[in-house]
Amino acid sequence: MYNNPYMNLYNPQTNIDKLNEQINNLEKIKAQMQQPQPTNLTQNFQLAPTNRDVIKYAASLDEVQRDMVIGDTPYFSKDMSVVWIKNTKGEIKTYELNEIIPKDNKDLQIEYLQAQIEELKKGMKKYESSANVDESTTNKESSSLQESATTNE
């Protein structure tokens, strides 16, 4: 009889204990509800990689073609004479690089004098070629005159 589970239902003390326990649980839940709950924020960032090198080097155009890029990317040859610019579509533009050396007044004067020397050389060649043409025409004229003079005699 004491081990009968239905007996506990009619025991008023057991019912009061269960009710008190439920009241305590409800009060805990009520207290939790009154406190501000932090909102759970989930933020997902999908960023493109930003570890782009400042300068990329390539030995040949084939090496540039194999590499995948995320933006316009310049590739320089080892000797810095050629630059390839590859875009995201895979299009590649090739440029030739020449070093620009700053010139001072002495360098400019030397270039000016060298240009004058070249002009004088061209003038000399033109003068010599025109002098040769004049000599050959005068020789032909004089020989034809001599032939005509000898036939008339």
Q: pLDDT tens for the chain, 153 residues: list them.
A: 455 555 555 677 888 889 999 999 999 988 888 877 677 777 777 766 665 556 788 999 999 999 888 888 899 999 989 999 999 898 999 999 998 888 899 999 999 999 999 999 999 988 888 777 666 655 555 555 555 555 554
| C-alpha torsion sign, points 8, 12, 16, 19 | positive
Q: What is the pLDDT of residue 52?
A: 59
Contact yes or no for 127/112 (Cβ under 8 A): no
Tell how far CA 137 is from the center of its chain.
66
DSSP 99: -
Handedness of CA 11, 16, 22, 24 (dihedral sign): negative
Q: In this predicted structure, what is the pLDDT of residue 41?
A: 76
Q: What confidence score (pLDDT) does residue 131 get?
A: 72
pLDDT value of residue 147: 53
The number of C-alpha atoms within 13 Å of 117 and in the hemisphere containing its C-beta is 6
Can you tell me whether residue 12 is helix, strand or coil? Answer: helix
Predicted pLDDT at 76: 92
Residue the block writes with tokens 């890029």: 69
- pLDDT value at residue 4: 59
Q: What proportions of the chain, in percent to the nearest 5, are helix, strand and coil?
A: 55, 10, 35
Q: What is the pTM of this model?
A: 0.39
